[in-house]
C-alpha cells in the first residue's frame, strides 16, 4: 500500500509498504482526509525532533515513519474483543499514545506522558497511508452525517479545546489570541463556542486576519502596524484581557500575550518553541499573573469538539484552504504551507483522490 513517510529533514516520500494486519483490540481504518500540522512542518524543516531516530519506547518505530496525525476515516475491519465500533463507522483518530506507567500517567495526565508517542509520528501507523491499524480506543466515532473532511479538523480543534479548558474561561469576558495560524484560529472558534464575548486576535498576515474575523474574532490587530497591547487596554477599560493564548511561538508574541492581560490574568502557552523564551518575572510577580501550558488534549475533548461541530456551535469549514492528492503531499502540501503561509490555513490530503 502507499504511505507518505518522513525519512529526514526535507525528505518525504510516498513509499510502498506492507498493508497492516488488524489484531485483537485494534481497528483497521481507511483514511479519508489528513491535515498537515505545524508540528509536521517543524519536522520537515528542522527534524527529526519528535520523530524517533532509535526505537520508540511504545511503538518500537523509528525513521522512516508514516506521517499523518490529524485524520478521519472509515473502519474497514474490527479486531477481536472490540466493542462499540463496527465496519463502516466513521471515525476521527486520537493520535497521542501513552505508557500508562510513568508519573504523569499515574497522576491522571497521559497527555504529558514521559514516553509520549503519536500515531503519525512514532511508527508506520499514520493517516497518510491507504490503511492504518490503531488501538480501538483511539478511534472516536463520528455521527453518520458528519463530513469526513471536517473530521480531519477535529484533532487540531481538540488541542484548542484543551488549551481553553486550561484557562479560567468560565469567568472570562475578554480573550486575546496571539497568532492567527491554524491553532490560533482553532482557539478563536472554541472561545466563541464557549461564550467569550470579546475575542481579540493579533496576527501579522492580512489574509489570516480575514480568516480570524470569519471564524469569530471580534477585533483583529496587526502588530506590525498597530500597538496591540494599547488597543487591548482601550477595549477593556485599561485593565487588559482576562485570558490570553500564545499561539505564535516567537518572543514578540509571547510578550504581547503577557503584557495584554490584566492583574491576575492568565496566559496559556499553546505554541511549540524552538528557542526558550524570556519571561519578565518581575511583571508576573508584580501583577500576580498566571502562566500555564497546554499539551495536546485530554480524554473527552474529542467527543466535546465533535458535539460542538455537530450542534453548529463550531463551523471549521473555512479553515480548509486546499485539498490535494497523496502524491502531491510534499510539493502542494508541505512546500505550499512554507512558501505560501499567508494563503493557507489547513491543506487536507484526500487519500482516495
User: What is the Cα Rg of the chain in Å?
Assistant: 20
Does 311 score more than 90 pLDDT? yes
Indicate if 84 and 184 belong to the same structural domain.
no
Indicate if 15 and 34 belong to the same structural domain.
yes
Is residue 72 within 8 Å of residue 33, measured between CB atoms?
Answer: yes
Let me know if residue 244 belongs to a domain: yes
Q: What cell was used for 8?
A: 529526514
66-95 mean pLDDT = 98
pLDDT in tens, 105-120: 999 999 999 999 999 9
Let me know if residue 243 belongs to a domain: yes
- Predicted local confidence at residue 283, as pLDDT: 98
- Predicted local confidence at residue 274, as pLDDT: 82
Let me know if residue 300 belongs to a domain: no
Indicate if 236 and 189 belong to the same structural domain.
yes
pLDDT in tens, 3-29: 999 999 999 999 999 999 999 999 999
Let me know if residue 306 belongs to a domain: no
Indicate if 212 and 137 belong to the same structural domain.
no
Let me know if residue 6 belongs to a domain: yes
pTM over 0.95: yes
% of the chain surpassing 90 pLDDT: 98
Please identify, among 293, 308, 324, the residue that sits at the C-terminal boundary of a domain: 293
- Average model confidence (pLDDT) for the chain? 97
Sign of CA dihedral 237, 171, 288, 228: negative
- Predicted local confidence at residue 341, as pLDDT: 87
Sign of CA dihedral 153, 154, 155, 159: positive
Is residue 81 within 8 Å of residue 73, measured between CB atoms?
Answer: no
Q: Which helix (H) or strand (E) holds 263?
A: strand 261-269
Indicate if 133 and 216 belong to the same structural domain.
no
- Predicted local confidence at residue 171, as pLDDT: 97
Q: What cell was used for 96?
A: 497521542
309-320 mean pLDDT = 97
68-93 mean pLDDT = 98
- Give the domain CATH number at 271: 3.40.50.720
Q: Which residue has the cell 508574541?
A: 253
Let me know if residue 22 belongs to a domain: yes
Residue from 87, 81, 89, 77 nearest 21 by CA = 77
Sequence-separated (6 or more) residues with CB below 8 Å from residue 243:
167, 168, 169, 172, 174, 175, 176, 261, 265, 266, 267, 268
296 prior amide bond cis, ω within 30: no
Beta partners for residue 78, in sequence order: 27
Indicate if 147 and 166 belong to the same structural domain.
no
Is residue 190 within 8 Å of residue 175, measured between CB atoms?
Answer: no
d(CA 128, CA 286): 49
62-81 mean pLDDT = 98
Task: Considering only the C-alpha atoms of the chain, give the largest distance between any 2 of them, rounded to a whole number of Å.
Answer: 62
Indicate if 321 and 184 belong to the same structural domain.
no
Indicate if 193 and 221 belong to the same structural domain.
yes
Indicate if 17 and 134 belong to the same structural domain.
yes
Let me know if residue 264 belongs to a domain: yes
Indicate if 146 and 193 belong to the same structural domain.
no
Q: Which residue has the cell 484548542?
A: 160
Indicate if 6 and 149 belong to the same structural domain.
yes
d(CA 116, CA 180): 27
d(CA 296, CA 283): 28
pLDDT in tens, 319-346: 999 999 999 999 999 999 999 988 999 9
Is residue 92 within 8 Å of residue 140, measured between CB atoms?
Answer: yes
Let me know if residue 81 belongs to a domain: yes
The count of domains in the chain is 2
pLDDT in tens, 123-135: 999 999 999 999 9
Q: Which residue has the cell 512554507?
A: 338
Sequence-separated (6 or more) residues with CB below 8 Å from residue 310:
143, 146
Q: What cell was used for 20?
A: 497492516
Q: What is the DSSP track for 43-71?
A: HHHH--SSS-SS--TTT---SSEE---EE
pLDDT in tens, 240-256: 999 999 999 999 999 99
Sequence-separated (6 or more) residues with CB below 8 Å from residue 7:
13, 63, 64
Domain extent, residue 69, equals 2-153+316-350
Indicate if 71 and 86 belong to the same structural domain.
yes
- Give the domain CATH number at 116: 3.90.180.10
d(CA 138, CA 217): 32
Amino acid at each position: 500500500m502507499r504511505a507518505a513517510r518522513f525519512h529526514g529533514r526535507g525528505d518525504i516520500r510516498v513509499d510502498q509498504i506492507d498493508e497492516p494486519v488488524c489484531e485483537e483490540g485494534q481497528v483497521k481504518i481507511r483514511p479519508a482526509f489528513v491535515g498537515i500540522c505545524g508540528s509536521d512542518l517543524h519536522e520537515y524543516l528542522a527534524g527529526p525532533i519528535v520523530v524517533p531516530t532509535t526505537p520508540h519506547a511504545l511503538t518500537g518505530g523509528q525513521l522512516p515513519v508514516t506521517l499523518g496525525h490529524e485524520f478521519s476515516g472509515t473502519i474497514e475491519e474490527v479486531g477481536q474483543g472490540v466493542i462499540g465500533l463496527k465496519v463502516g463507522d466513521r471515525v476521527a483518530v486520537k493520535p497521542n499514545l501513552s505508557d500508562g506507567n510513568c508519573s504523569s500517567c499515574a497522576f491522571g495526565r497521559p497527555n504529558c506522558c514521559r514516553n509520549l508517542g503519536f500515531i503519525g509520528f512514532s511508527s508506520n501507523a499514520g493517516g497518510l497511508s491507504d490503511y492504518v491499524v490503531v488501538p480501538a480506543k483511539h478511534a472516536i466515532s463520528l455521527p453518520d452525517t458528519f463530513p469526513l473532511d471536517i473530521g480531519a479538523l477535529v484533532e487540531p480543534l481538540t488541542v484548542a479545546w484543551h488549551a481553553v479548558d486550561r484557562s479560567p474561561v468560565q469567568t472570562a469576558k475578554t480573550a486575546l489570541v496571539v497568532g492567527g495560524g491554524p491553532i490560533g484560529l482553532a482557539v478563536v472558534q472554541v472561545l466563541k463556542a464557549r461564550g467569550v464575548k470579546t475575542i481579540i486576535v493579533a496576527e501579522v498576515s492580512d489574509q489570516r486576519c480575514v480568516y480570524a474575523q470569519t471564524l469569530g474574532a471580534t477585533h483583529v490587530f496587526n502588530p506590525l502596524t498597530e500597538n496591540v497591547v494599547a488597543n487591548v487596554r482601550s477595549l477593556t477599560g485599561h485593565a487588559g484581557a482576562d485570558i490570553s493564548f500564545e499561539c505564535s511561538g516567537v518572543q514578540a508574541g509571547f510578550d504581547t500575550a503577557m503584557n495584554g492581560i490584566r492583574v491576575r490574568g492568565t496566559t496559556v502557552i499553546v505554541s511549540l518553541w524552538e528557542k526558550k523564551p524570556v519571561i519578565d518575572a518581575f511583571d508576573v510577580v508584580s501583577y500576580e499573573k498566571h502562566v500555564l501550558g497546554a499539551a495536546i488534549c485530554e480524554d473527552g475533548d474529542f467527543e466535546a469538539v465533535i458535539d460542538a461541530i455537530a450542534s453548529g456551535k463550531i463551523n471549521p469549514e473555512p479553515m480548509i484552504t486546499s485539498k490535494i492528492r497523496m502524491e502531491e503531499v510534499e510539493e502542494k502540501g508541505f512546500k505550499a504551507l512554507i512558501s505560501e503561509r499567508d494563503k493557507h490555513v489547513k491543506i487536507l490530503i484526500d487519500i482516495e483522490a
